[in-house]
């Protein structure tokens, strides 16, 4: 499995010929061309998962390439597409200073359990949602920008889910610094992408991985 970061909450995850896109940035996003210098990336996904209906995260037009059209998932429910098992779980967000419905996704992809928290704004999630998050290998968590979890509460919540690897998203330099301080390791280096297999996760417990925006 290869995980690469597109900025904001956007990730490309690939195993073999299957490509997943999480929260692709839309061309309508105000993040593009701003201080973050985000750009939309058209990489041809098979499945796109949208946690929040906002231009910063719903750029489904950006992950189609030619005749290849992605299967779009944009809310709670259970799905199986191309051998990928997905659950969408209800939660809430305060993104962009507005109370919104946020979908947390758990994904079983090549025997690796991913949990993508989206633009989660409150750690007090519904009991049914909490029960649906189990055995997390890789956790994607927002850590303090524009109405998502602040870095201190984000780290505490991440650890409570007992993932093998924690990948922060939706952050700036200041919030990342606080998050790393909470983790007890402020010297973590940014890497280009994460290439990992199930066996690589066996000895990991809450390891923080920082990915460079591609």
**pLDDT tens-digit readout, 33-84:** 444 456 666 678 999 999 999 999 999 887 876 677 899 999 999 999 999 9
Element (H, E) at 156: helix 151-160
Q: What is the pLDDT of residues 102-144, one digit of tens each?
A: 999 999 988 999 999 999 999 999 999 999 999 999 999 999 8
Domains of the chain: 2-211 (3.60.15.10)
Give pLDDT, residue 33: 46
Give pLDDT, residue 34: 42
Compute the radius of gyration of the chain from its Cα atoms: 16
Q: Select from 214, 207, 162 the least CA-distant residue to 191.
A: 214
Q: What is the pLDDT of residues 153-208, one digit of tens each?
A: 999 999 999 999 999 999 999 999 999 999 999 999 999 999 999 999 999 999 99
Give pLDDT, residue 63: 81
Q: Hey, what are 158's tokens?
A: 């991440």
């Amino acid at each position: 499995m290869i995980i690469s970061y597109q900025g904001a909450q956007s990730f490309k995850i690939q195993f073999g010929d299957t490509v997943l896109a999480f929260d692709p940035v839309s061309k309508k996003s105000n993040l593009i061309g701003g201080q973050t210098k985000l750009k939309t990336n058209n990489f041809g996904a098979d499945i796109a998962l949208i946690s929040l209906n906002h231009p910063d995260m719903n750029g489904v037009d950006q992950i189609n390439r030619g005749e290849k059209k992605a299967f779009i998932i944009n809310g709670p429910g259970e799905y199986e597409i191309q051998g990928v098992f997905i659950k969408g779980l209800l939660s809430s967000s305060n993104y962009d200073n507005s109370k919104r419905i946020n979908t947390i996704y758990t994904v079983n992809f090549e025997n690796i359990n991913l949990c993508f928290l989206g633009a989660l704004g409150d750690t007090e999630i519904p009991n049914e949602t909490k029960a649906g998050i189990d055995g997390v290998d890789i956790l994607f968590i927002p850590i303090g920008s524009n109405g998502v979890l602040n870095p201190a509460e984000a780290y505490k919540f991440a650890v409570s889910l007992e993932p093998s690897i924690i990948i922060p998203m939706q952050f700036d330099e200041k919030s990342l610094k606080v998050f790393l301080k909470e983790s007890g390791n402020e010297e973590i280096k940014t890497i280009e992408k994460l290439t990992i297999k199930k066996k690589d996760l066996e000895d990991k417990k809450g390891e923080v991985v920082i990915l460079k925006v591609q």
